[in-house]
Chains A and B, each alone.
Chain A
Amino acid sequence: EAGVVQSPRYKIIEKKQPVAFWCNPISGHNTLYWYRQNLGQGPELLIRYENEEAVDDSQLPKDRFSAERLKGVDSTLKIQPAELGDSAVYLCASSSLGQTITYNEQFFGPGTRLTVL
């Protein structure tokens, strides 16, 4: 079974440029998460989707960040315009929340390392 797929793996851009990340979750997983991980820190949740609905986007900087999951499968996360402080690893995870009441195990992709110059 394929795991969570993310692309690109690395991205270098200049500040004020736009950038987009793509995630394909594990087949059948209805819940998808985008996290940001700064160097030496644990991941922080940006947005969580249940199917196509964004159910928790309280940590998403909505002035420059946007996300979508149109058909409840793949998702894209966009930053426009990027700032120097956006340099981080952006991780996507998925789970089958709701299909088991006992626990929610999240499976992570390899991440996209963004460098803003």
Chain B
Amino acid sequence: KQEVTQIPAALSVPEGENLVLNCSFTDSAIYNLQWFRQDPGKGLTSLLLIQSSQREQTSGRLNASLDKSSGRSTLYIAASQPGDSATYLCAVPPGSSNTGKLIFGQGTTLQVKP
């Protein structure tokens, strides 16, 4: 059974710092991995999607990497800003097929202080 763990659960950093959020999953035979952002009281916004054949994806100040063999992904945020404050969730399918189902981690709540 696929399980997803995110560490740390919460993180507080001063503005301008570079930071790394971690995600691990137990079944490495995944189809892809997605990182989402969730603002308080809001739905989820897709940030990056990495396919199983890829090692990383970049969007602006965000870079997500994927190491399937070790069951890990990291989300790197460069030059953090107060507007980056949110909960970040990673999610993977339960197996190697593209069924659409996603298993989510508990999320990392990030606070960037001005």
Residues of A whose CB lies within 8 Å of any CB of B are 4, 6, 31, 33, 40-45, 48, 50, 56, 91, 93, 95, 97, 101-111, 113
Contacts and interface: CB of A to CB of B under 8 A. Distances in A.
A91 B43 contact: yes
Contacts of B43: 4, 6, 91, 108-111
Nearest to B93: A104
Contacts, number: 64
B44 A44 contact: no
Contacts of A95: 100
B91 interface: yes
B45 A103 contact: no
Classify chain B's interface size: 20 to 34
Given A41-B106, A44-B104, A107-B46, A101 B98 contact: yes
A103 B49 contact: yes
Given A103-B49, A108-B43, A113-B41, A56 B106 contact: no
A37 B12 CA distance: 23
A111 B46 CA distance: 15
A77 to B, nearest CB: 15
Most buried by B among A6, A42, A97, A111: A42
A106 B98 CA distance: 12
A42 B89 CA distance: 7
Nearest to A38: B106
B44 A48 contact: no
Nearest to B90: A42
Contacts of B101: 45, 48, 56
A29 B89 CA distance: 23
Contacts of A42: 4, 89, 91, 104-107
A104 B100 contact: yes
